[in-house]
Chain A
């Protein structure tokens, strides 16, 4: 009887835990999930390679009007240049499935980046959408900031005005620079989670 009861207790636990399986999203203050992806030059990068540095993750799709809003006037590139000069690592991640909008070959991506003077540390391919779904990336752009300890410090929109109009950029508060400024001066991040806006990620 004792053994039987113990066995059944284990079964209850198994049943209880079994119901707990669902999709994962990331939470601020928790470890950002590690990943390993190939970049447009064929090199592999892991998030854990950048421990000790601030890392910005940018979900990107060059054909999305909301991404164009920030790339056509050079806003995103300026941000990339500015932050990488401060030692921040900038990873652009593309989760478009093959054949879907925004899915380009590595050489095409390099061409686009050269033409637009984009300066991320690396442009990573996540064609099976695994990393995107792990982070709960919903839109392009969808931004994440990871601190030097590997904890997630910011997730959400690029800035405070959800629109596809570049004219709104100067009026908006850029949440990513704000978060990194906060972090670098040792303050808590003022807006640590915002609602991202943009096109759907083309999983």
Chain B
């Protein structure tokens, strides 16, 4: 506690010296802070005196004006980190530079890494062990930095400091302690070497991190790479937490030269809104190539083509047991049992066609994925499920198949005219399509890995996968005697079909759940409504086989159902509870609102307007802004100028503008005038404006 007291007094004295402008005794040539380029910069050593063979820190403080920022060591898409040229007597060396945790700063479509507040950059310096030639050590540092808002201003400043030479314990500099203490939590720390692993997983880098001290509830994670051209700065990371282990997936930069990247170096930063920041974790690990699911050890055998083929074949076999595929294949087996009465040759032919159908479908999928990859897309297996249209399509498919299994309508008769082999081919295609929901979770990263290999490799592995899936069926058709183990055809087959229909309906339920997460509750209702209409269409089709008029009616009803289901995919997510609820612009309504005593906020925006979108993302989706809007009961009106709308054009001109974005805030007390916010807004600007004009006087 004595230390604290002394420290305080020393600081006070230092401040007084500064204020009075004296250069005094033990710390001569005190360096003043420099103000330049909208930034205050100061050089602050850890000690006032030095001894031989000593390690010490020198801090450089940057304090940019509000709304201006400086840059981290990797500035991101643009910008430049500060640099320091040191001039010491011979023998001094700079051992290390420690950068505090940066932030993501968005500049239009670009992402930069930097600091929008005060930073204290640390340099670790070592003095030589031999005897100092003089009793004073001069230190000169030329600091260059760049401060940007939207525009950038460079700054250059020179500092000089003279240390007293002393073999006694060095005298601490209170000013250094002050800033070091203030920024302590910003400096990265090293974890145990075994706590962090990094993997190269096709389109992503994955960092698996088991923190020595796990802090639950972190909901934001950001990896700041030391080197450029490794990570896609735009993409947000995916991350999962399981049993105290973080798994962070970071999208690779399109320009990443994968062959030359052996290590991942950077900072990993975890955050939770409203919590004090955690210290950033220093990442410096060798990348491991891995093709297995997270958690399992890489198997070396897989890296060889043969190994991959065997695994793919087994994977294909397993696919048959998946709930998505089982019903389809069971139907096939049932039909096989019936056919086996007629003759063996024919059914082997259909087995071959089925296999062919499966393999060709896998080739098509491989082709599509490779095509997208060559077009520069980074995708993984299961990506289809990001599309609500795909979800809706799968739900429709499974629903119709289930109705078919229930016996609501038959689709077999139309096909009896077609050769049996063709039918089998399409069955193979169908089986592959319906298998995709099940392949996604089980084979995701394995297939992702395969896609990083040469195209021939991908095709071979996909072929093996297809053969694996078709193998049991092919065997059954080749050796129909195995079928004798199955009971004779009878009513049990119809019952089994109906039971499998329920399995498919369960998959539909699951798909509805996925859709509800993507598009909200309304879309599920639309999908279910669409399925109902579609079911009606199937029923009309079933009872009206013979009349062409009724077939047209069935088709029309079916299309209406499909259309409704597609609406479900298109329905945008309903406004989240915590978001701002926007009302579309309407002149009459606005006039009515202006007679109330609620504040009214007008947002003139358009989908094609980049700064509008930037503002929307950074300001209106900011939780604080949304919360304040709710608290103050603000009526939020969005004038969307994406499509030509003479009323909105009139309104834009009415506010004396001819371009967007701009924002209008009507205060609670409507006698007062409205205010307009600038083109580029920040959460701070909007919150201030609300504070000033929308809060009760």
Contacts and interface: CB of A to CB of B under 8 A. Distances in A.
B174 interface: no
B393 A11 contact: yes
Contacts of A11: 389, 393
A85 interface: no
Contacts, number: 123
B83 interface: yes
Contacts of A8: 393, 397, 433
A19 B415 contact: no
B418 A138 contact: no
A164 B384 contact: no
A100 B150 contact: yes
B221 to A, nearest CB: 22
Nearest to A102: B151
B489 interface: no
Interface residues of A, number: 45
Interface stretch (A44-52, A104-112, A143-151, A195-203): A195-203
Interface string B409-435: 001001100100011001001100100
Given A25-B254, A163-B83, A203-B108, A15 B228 contact: no
A180 to B, nearest CB: 21
A63 B80 contact: no
The size class of the interface chain B forms with chain A is 35 or more
A147 B383 CA distance: 37
A31 interface: no
B144 A22 contact: no
A199 B109 contact: no
Which of A19, A195, A196, A197 gathers most chain B CB within 10 Å? A19
A25 B376 contact: yes
Interface of B is mostly: mixed
A141 B79 CA distance: 11
B377 interface: yes
A16 B365 CA distance: 9
B78 A138 contact: yes
B393 A15 contact: yes
Contact of A199 (B152, B376, B387, B433): B152
Interface of B: 75, 77-80, 83, 107-110, 112, 144, 146, 148, 150-154, 156, 228-229, 254-255, 364, 368, 372, 375-377, 379, 383-384, 386-387, 389-390, 393, 397, 400, 411, 414-415, 418, 422-423, 426, 429-430, 433, 610
Interface of A: 1-2, 4-5, 8-9, 11-20, 22-25, 27, 63-66, 100-101, 129, 133, 138-139, 162-165, 193, 195-203
19 contacts: A1-B415, A2-B418, A2-B423, A8-B397, A9-B433, A11-B389, A16-B372, A20-B375, A20-B379, A25-B254, A25-B255, A101-B150, A163-B80, A164-B80, A165-B144, A197-B80, A198-B78, A199-B78, A202-B150
Given A15-B393, A195-B229, A200-B150, 16 more contacts: A1-B415, A13-B368, A16-B368, A16-B387, A20-B375, A27-B254, A65-B146, A65-B152, A138-B77, A162-B80, A165-B156, A195-B228, A197-B75, A197-B80, A200-B107, A201-B110
